[in-house]
Chains A and B, each alone.
Chain A
Amino acid sequence: MATHYCRPIFNKNSFSHIQRIICPSYLSTLPKLQIEDVQSSHEETRFKLSNPDAFEVKNMVKIKSLFEAGVHFGHTEGTLDERMKQYLYGNRLGHLIIDLNQTKKLLQQALNVTAHIAYRGGVILFLCQSPLNCLTVENCAKECGEFAHTRYWRDGMFTNSSRIFKAETRLPDLCIVLNTLSSTSKNNSGQHGVLTDAAKMLIPTIAIVDTDANPNIVTYPIPGNDDTPSAISLYCDLFKNIIKKAKAIRKEILNNNKI
């Protein structure tokens, strides 16, 4: 079996690599700032933004539920994108298996980012290209009061937005792409067009990347199965819950500020 190439790469890079991406050195050398306009009401509430796990995403993701939803199933061996090697656990009967330990960690990070953006009143756009899962994704966006685009991606939707929407438009602050690569789409070799467009407009992206996709173009890649409905509904539930939670906290704090 061809497992030999997966483990060493994972061990070598592990999280120091991710740490480098997530927390560049130039940021950590900056002096700590004293923010004057911190409200006294903030200190009274239990919620602390400076807490790394302010929205308690750590408890939301469990390896068991990921496993049960089939998140670890990758595509066949031949379709592997070299850049996905670092996220692999191994290979079974010709199919690649994704390392759920890494998926869990990255999923938590992505959820945390989502929560922070939702807390600051950001606009979040859910995207999906597979017709099988598009209703799930649309319902998810509907339920958490955010936005969905699960249809054909027109080029220039972001880059030429004022022309397409016929007005000055606020673009989303975060794009959550639930399948990066669709085998049926011919243009851009199947990769979702939003990834390049969002990169051009400096919009962060969270994307589920399967073993055949390119994770390098995504701001917060999450290695995982992007075809199975059970996996998609698991991701949708997680994102929906965290957005709802962050919004509830936001509402509460805004109400407190008013009083």
Chain B
Amino acid sequence: MMLMQRLFPNLVTNKLCSAKILTNFVLRCTYGLNNVGSDDPGVEIPEKKIVEEKTSLAMRAYLQRATQYNSFMDQQIHEYKIGKRHLANMMGVDPETFTQKDIDAAIGYLFPSGLYDPKARPLMRPPSEVFPPKKDAEFDESGRPFHVFFYTGKPNFYSILHNIATKLVELNKFEDSLRKNNILPDADKKLTSFGSQWLSKEDLEKKTVERLSDHEYKHFVVAIERLLNHACAYKLTEFISEYQKPMISTKSIVESSPVLYTKDGRAYVTVKDCPRKDARADVTVYYPGTGKLSINGKGIEFFDYIQAREQILFPLLFTDMIDKVDIEATVSGGGVSGKAGAIRFGISWCLCSFVDPEVVERMRIAGLLQKDYRRRERKKPGQARARRKFTWKKR
């Protein structure tokens, strides 16, 4: 002890203090659980008073983190408000009535960006949208977690699996009791997954607020499908439907445009801005008609290529409406095939209003109502075109 005092005069100021440190040290040694298991513990187990721990290391760390986060957010919100006023002044508008929409417009005007990905362009949004909210504390003052599956790292996901397993056991018991009384589970009530699908991995991640691996998602699907295929699953329709979503109805996508009428009583439908590559077309189809076609004031001869003409005619031939409608189209931008594709797309959508639903379904399956997202492929350096290579000879 004397040595200690000589070595650390500042640290250990008096004998009393150092004695206390030593007692604590020895106490901790005897306090170990090594001796509690045997009949003769060797040392007396100290009857130390137990107290409820009020602030554990984990809780202190959390509180510190929370205050840090809050002060950071306050700072950010303050900066956002100042930035908003500056922007409003730059744009010469009243700062009080400057909305988020105006901010976006001002940023787009003041910092024009040619970057392709919208996420890469400059933005100014409220800090609550930019910085993700922090999780609340998952444990109490003593550091003891609230959730029984906390130590799995994915408590919400695993409690779903736990619930499924519990329900399965319940159903088995129920079926056993039925069979004991010579009653078979009702085969008519058996559930099917027809018309619905399981929550996707992303949906489940959103529901549990946890990141899941593909393997874990597969685990979930296997478990819930086992529950669904149980003979008595009809008892749990509500529970199962929590994890189902309706299959997207294909028919609801195809919503035909409203039919209008000219002064002389002819029905017509207009579809504007039909896209294909860089071309945009406005197409109007009149019904009944005689098969007249006008593209930018010309007939089918607007296109020199046979392929482009075939493109225009294809939806008309497909629905057998070629001599029953009149078509007026104006098209701009793009090249020949783009223009033809844009008009084809417009005609197809217009025709939807004049044909039977079965034909519409056939058109959908044929791909006539599907927007063509393909774009021109870029030219690569070291190559002649997108894919074409320069002529190359070994020697």
Contacts and interface: CB of A to CB of B under 8 A. Distances in A.
Given A22-B34, A109-B37, A257-B51, A121 B142 contact: yes
A169 interface: yes
Interface in A39-73: 39, 42, 48-50, 52, 54
Given A27-B42, A30-B26, A168 B49 contact: no
B30 A52 contact: no
B50 A135 contact: no
Contacts of B52: 121, 254
Given A135-B169, A147-B150, A148-B149, A49 B47 contact: yes
B153 A37 contact: no
Interface string A158-178: 000000111111101000000
B262 interface: no
A19 interface: yes
Given A32-B43, A254-B50, A151 B158 contact: yes
Interface stretch (B57-65, B187-195, B335-343, B373-381): B57-65
Contacts of B37: 22, 109-110, 112-113, 220
B87 to A, nearest CB: 35
A26 B91 CA distance: 81
A252 to B, nearest CB: 11
A238 interface: no
B382 interface: no
A35 B48 contact: yes
Nearest to A194: B151
B27 A33 contact: yes
B47 A33 contact: no
A157 interface: yes
Contacts of A141: 148
Contacts of B161: 151
B49 A28 contact: no
A27 to B, nearest CB: 6
B182 interface: no
A148 B143 CA distance: 16
A257 B49 contact: yes
Interface in B16-35: 26-27, 29-30, 32-35
A154 B42 contact: no
A234 interface: no
Interface residues of B, number: 51
A50 B34 CA distance: 14
Interface string B77-119: 0000000000000000000000000000000000000000000
B16 to A, nearest CB: 15
Nearest to B162: A138
Given A109-B37, A135-B162, A165-B153, A27 B30 contact: yes
Interface string A164-205: 111111101000000000000000000000000000000010
B186 interface: no
Interface string A120-136: 11010100000000110
B66 to A, nearest CB: 10
A7 interface: no
Given A135-B166, A168-B57, A168-B62, A32 B35 contact: no
A27 B153 contact: no
A125 B151 contact: yes
A253 interface: yes
Given A19-B38, A35-B48, A149-B149, 6 more contacts: A33-B30, A42-B49, A49-B47, A52-B41, A113-B36, A121-B50
9 contacts: A28-B42, A32-B43, A35-B48, A48-B47, A54-B45, A135-B169, A138-B149, A151-B152, A170-B139
